[in-house]
Amino acid sequence: MIVGILKEIKSEENRVSMTPAGAEVMVHHGHTVLVEKNAGTGSGFLDEAYTRAGAEIVETPAEIYARADMVMHVKEPLPSEYGLIREGQIVFTYLHLAADEKLTRALVDSKAVCIAYETIQKPDGSLPLLTPMSEVAGRMAIQQGAKYLEMTQGGHGVLLGGVPGVDPGTVVVIGGGVVGTNAAKMACGLGAKVYILDMNLDRLRHLSDIMPANCFPLMSSPATLRKLVREADVVVGAVLVAGAKAPRLVTREMIKTMKRGSVLVDVAIDQGGCFETSHPTTHKDPTFVVDDVVHYCVANMPGAVAKTSTLALTNATLPYAVTLADKGWKKAMQDSREIALGANVIDGEITYKGVAEAFDMPY
């Protein structure tokens, strides 16, 4: 199969959908890999590294779309690419179609085979191509929280780990899933006093088993939140209710009781956020202040650490990409329910219920 790696064109997106190491694996499987010029530069992978791995560098996205049997992106195709997608071509990337009717209709019209990273699902219900980005965002949340506690950044000048003779800072993590667990681990590693809240008692039991002694897993409730938010130096929003907007668990009234110069990091902002005062921000202008509390609400946090994010994402996507290339999409989907669940649009038909329902289209 001919596999095409496109350069990301969405603003602030420096990731790439395959590393040179991944290209080498594809080539060993007997496939041809085309890489758009400078596709990996933002993540620190130069064209020469791809050439050494056996890939061919191609000047334009049009050439990739014209020659490849499968094209890979990180983010969804943008309008300039809609007309380039060919009938029967596999498009393998994050698509998030339920939020984008124009793209959905363009992919239906293209008659391509559109497989979304985010709907590939393991038998246990986990989403293996979303997990690595949640791991990155969770870990980064504490790095950002610690930074914005510094006085020059608008914070109240607390070092999360404290020092001998001085109390550490207090971190409250709301949601004990992938983002929350990774955030709590980082905060614990710095030596902060960490509370992690969830609604799921089994999850709390698991966290209690695996987390260090400076982490306190607690049942989430408005009363607990009211109390902890007042004490916190950093609060991380990491809640997810599948298929729904994030619940606004921390109200403006609660935020008014927080210490001046404390920091909210709303990782769940991509689902609407879990603080009443949140609105999405960008890496160029990541924070704003409400009631003297610094808010960090960047919707694509992994984009800031493109190298780590690319490596983490491609560790997860490569096995699926190799299977699709080795077997072709029909056999790959017959053999693997995980991959079949990734199918969103095939040959002009919507094949994912949530996408069809979002736009009242046939399924």
207 binds ligand NAD (CB under 6 A): no
Residue 194: which H helix or E strand, with range? strand 193-198
Q: Which of the residues 61 through 100 are near ligand NAD (CB under 6 A)?
A: none
Of the candidates 160, 228, 157, 225, the residue with the CA atom closest to the CA atom of residue 193: 160
- Identify residue 47 by its one-letter amino acid code: D
Of the candidates 326, 324, 314, the residue with the CA atom closest to the CA atom of residue 19: 314
Residue nearest to ligand NAD (CB): 177
Considering only 43, 121, 134, 317, the residue that binds ligand NAD (CB under 6 A) is 134
239 binds ligand NAD (CB under 6 A): yes
Q: Which stretch binds ligand NAD (CB under 6 A): 33-41, 91-99, 299-307, 310-318?
A: 299-307
Cβ distance to ligand NAD smaller for residue 281 or 336: 281
Considering only 9, 299, 358, 361, the residue that binds ligand NAD (CB under 6 A) is 299
Q: Which stretch binds ligand NAD (CB under 6 A): 206-214, 235-243, 286-294, 331-339?
A: 235-243
> What residues does 346 pair with on adjacent strands?
113, 349
Q: Catalytic: 209?
A: no
Cβ–Cβ < 8 Å for 339, 113? no
3 binds ligand NAD (CB under 6 A): no
CA-based torsion, 95, 302, 279, 224: positive or negative: positive
174 binds ligand NAD (CB under 6 A): yes
- The distance of closest approach from Cβ of residue 206 to ligand NAD in the complex, given in angstroms and rounded to an integer, is 10
Q: Catalytic: 270?
A: yes
What the block records as the tokens of 342 is 């990734």
- The string of DSSP codes covering 59-97 is S-HHHHHHH-SEEE-SSPPPHHHHTTPPTT-EEEE---G
2 burial (CB, 10 Å; 0-12 / 13-18 / 19+) is middle
What is the total count of residues that contact ligand NAD (CB under 6 A)? 32
226 binds ligand NAD (CB under 6 A): no
What the block records as the tokens of 277 is 């005062």
Catalytic residues: 96, 270
Residue ranges binding ligand NAD (CB under 6 A)? 133-134, 137, 174-180, 197-200, 203, 220, 238-241, 246-247, 249, 267-271, 299-302
